[in-house]
Copies of this chain bind each other. A is one copy, B any other.
């Protein structure tokens, strides 16, 4: 029996909004379970409620699960991902310094990334959020698509799923467009992989709030920019000593 989605509302909330914002981690390890169509509908519908400039809604989501083309698209990006990560692992010196200790945060992050790219072709769902341009490319155009991408990750979180944004499609963008009939002028803005987390969501780690929020003057935090109790901190970006590439 199939469900009539036209009469089926979006699923009920099990999580609060602010709680969701604070605990949506990048999920890179998935259980080997397909995502039911109803859940995909709920996630993509939630994603497309995001704002865009003049409500033009120039975002289009290509959703790939288990068809022949989906398998080919995943394999294409998997190869690119492995190549990009291998280079980054060396350039960012993930295996040097504290990374030589397999229990260090650096080594654990490297292991998670290695597992992610090695298993990319098995991700339950691969989403390509695209932008149909109506202007020349510019750095601000992302304001009309990345809010929807964030909504997608948050909706997944709200439904017991998880995902992560990557740019691993870039080296194979032309092949992907040919495979999926994506017009040349469309911008594939990122990839999002989705599935049931093998690990857990939970509080995320960021820089202390006064480093991220300023008042009237650059680099001067207002008095109220104080982390609430329990906030977890982290360095910004890859391990120290890495090269920016």
Contact = CB atoms under 8 A, between A and B. Distances in A.
A134 B244 CA distance: 7
Interface stretch (A75-83, A95-103, A143-151): A143-151
A172 interface: no
A228 B151 CA distance: 17
Interface string A213-241: 11111110011111111110010111000
Interface residues of A, number: 109
A56 B236 contact: yes
Given A10-B228, A17-B158, A146 B150 contact: yes
A164 to B, nearest CB: 8
A214 B212 CA distance: 37
A1 interface: no
A145 B139 CA distance: 11
Contacts of A222: 37, 40, 63
A241 to B, nearest CB: 14
Contact of A224 (B26, B38, B49, B228): B38
A161 to B, nearest CB: 12
Given A141-B139, A207-B57, A214 B10 contact: no
Interface of A: 5-24, 26, 37-38, 40-42, 44-46, 48-51, 53-64, 67, 69-70, 131, 134-135, 137-143, 145-147, 149-151, 153-155, 157-159, 164-165, 167, 180-183, 186-187, 189-190, 204-207, 209, 212-219, 222-231, 234, 236-238, 244
A-B interface, 10 closest residue pairs, ranked by CB to CB distance from nearest: A142-B142, A13-B16, A146-B146, A147-B150, A56-B237, A37-B224, A17-B20, A17-B158, A5-B226, A69-B216
